[in-house]
Chain A
């Protein structure tokens, strides 16, 4: 709405909403322009709600062993309630474990992504803005790390430092920051030649001011899209690590770990593995659709 108002608009036509709030509302309406992004945002929001309200939504204690090998829809023989998605071989309710498991993934994935971004952005800004030897050194280090197949890197790091929540975050940061750095560096190399950056330099602004205030805000579009995609990858990574037995230590529910634990009996009881697979795939799909929709929106303007 505010974009359409050209210069013919009379003074004071803008609503007196505070700037930040208005912009947030503006970006929400922008999201509405892409059905793909809306669907993606809907799926992600669904899981966020589930994660927040897990204690109230889960019908059972996720770690309680109740009744092994119950089929989906079976009633709890020794008490009240239904195992809507069945139970695993230890007798834990799969639905409750899925609900609680969303907390794990929705805590670790954003946390790891955020930390990887903080480091990747710092490195990318430095490499792209200063160029020269700083760039060569950082780019070479990034190259070395990126030349590892990702999962090989994860396996090496996790088997060396051990599987724990913090170590998973460290491993993901270590493996993702170089990729983020490359993207940021590319954007900075382009943006640093803009005239407004030259204007800032001609008035003697410090390098940190130019990088953080003049350049970084203008790189946000591609970075937001990339962050959504990367969140999807990190969810996959957490799932794969759990699946390979390198994830969070049991017994707390973790989607990848659930699949790994049920694997020996999976061919006889597919429900134990199929539902966690659907859960994790839907969350990844949410992030991917959101990223795709956001890219489409950003290309349109």
Chain B
């Protein structure tokens, strides 16, 4: 039995697949370096195109206590490698890191991962963010990757956190967005808190600008951060997600920021962006307060055809759910959906809106844990370690599902996808300083459909395509959550529906309608030429 069942929950089952032996190492110190709290990227991708999702996990690195310059995070030691696990036919995993050429991860402290087929060769590529220099690994298509960061021109620098591939100008090539957090130097670390030390709040450090790289073709990117207007604002970026919130055909960018206004970069369609979060009503809480923005989901939770935004934050801040009202405006929906009360005790990181029970409504799954590993000493009512949260979507209102049986851990990144292609969405959650947790969706009587998009004029994976079935809308993207990259395929729960009509709006502009599509299968859809 390659998927040993540990225990079973109503919607998700917990598994510890054979071969997935990764341990994240963040090396916490008494110095309370802020980077220690942040890592744990995870990606689900089919790197060898065998139809099975593989798992890529980002490690962080070794920190001395105190760290002496020059920084040496020991990334060449196997314990600190990022790891790629190939899924086998029997559901077990094999560590193929070395064979895939991914053991060379530079010597920077690891954060997150983005996945996209930037060169349209049909094989997903991997971009790893670091506190330091980022790395782009080109998938050679033969099971191995090559570090092409230098020639691609995407090393960035500073403290990158989340990243994502998107085709912001619909030219058929995936561009790259990178969120960056603080202007932080280990050598100028500040110790906060008396009588005992805690990790400093982000106000103690200046922020950074985010980065946008335009894919020029021929394996090269151009830094378009300034020319596009992305660098016009300085933030403290954490999560990043894409969607076309105003339906103008161009993907917009949402960046969750830590303890300042959130950013919504509206794509003007001419290669430039305008930051409009305050105007759109997604910058602040209902009190007009900033909060500790962590992860972000950008999806249509209420099946009205308009993408909504959910930003996780710390316990007692209320996760911020913004319902898209149309016309470029959002309203604060944490109260009306009951979500505020449900998650008031929880600190959220990676998250996603996915239909785990295939009833036609996207549920919410989130990695949870406070950022302060000694929060109990500061507030006895809060907890550092938390089990992840599953919040079932009951026609637009949220209800807590029983996941309390899960171990309390420091959850960080989460990636979503159908690991065993059984039509039930699975989740892989990274654990800060620990082993990842795999949750497998449990198939039920409800029906489902999953689409693998194959762009022709659009980018090869159809990222940025909008797929509609009845009242349900989904957006093809691997980005979102926190530090993580999800399955590029698009999944729908159909409830009792067994045959449906599917409409696809491709980024290059084509509209495609598929009639009478039978449920319960994975359908590859090629963009009409």
Asked if A pairs with B, the answer is: no
